[in-house]
Structure 1
Amino acid sequence: MLARRDALDIMLARCDALDIMLARRDAFDLMLARWDALELMLARCDTLDIMLARCDALDIMLARWDALVIMLARCDTLDIMLARCDALDMMPALYDAIDMMLAM
């Protein structure tokens, strides 16, 4: 009877050891799942970094576009200035034409 009880105690101890082993395995699986979650989080951070880099590139592109618009506006201003200079160059001819008309 004592031998059976000892055998039962040994069996229960083995079951406890198995439960501990399974708990350790579950803990290890949980650790791996957390590791996978961390890797996924890091991948998302990398994706966010790429997105932010693209936003920065877009900002640079828009700044270049603004610079181009300013340059074109300056070219238009230069064209207006040159047109005024041409008009100024034509004024003596206009005065000559007025003088000729008055002389008639």
Structure 2
Amino acid sequence: MTTIKEINEEIQRLLRETDEDAIEEVKEKYEPFEKNMNSLLECEDLETYLEKYEQMHQEDEAVLKCFNLDTTEELKTYIEEKEIDLDALKTETVYASCEALKFAIYDSEEDDDY
């Protein structure tokens, strides 16, 4: 299984390799994802994680929709069905953030083509 450290290294690599003309736009698009990811990673238990996720969702700041799930209830069901513990959930959170970065890079590069 991929670790948080390995995914963070991938995030840093992606940022280093981003075209310098697009880097500011990419960082701006990625910033809310990174902020939410870091906030979720600070949680010390599953209950706190879910509460924080719900708060982000209610404040319409849930830009980090882990696992393509829209609600906290869907996330709870996913966790129960997959029997995911907090450490695995945090790893998947970082992975989701990395995917958001990839999308921001792709989107910015596509904008530069026009």
**Under a length normalisation based on structure 2, what TM-score does the superposition of the two structures give?**
0.26
- The structure carrying a bigger helix percent of its residues is 1
Larger relative contact order (Cα-Cα within 8 Å, sequence gap ≥ 6): 2
Higher Cα Rg: structure 1 or 2? 1
**Under a length normalisation based on structure 1, what TM-score does the superposition of the two structures give?**
0.29
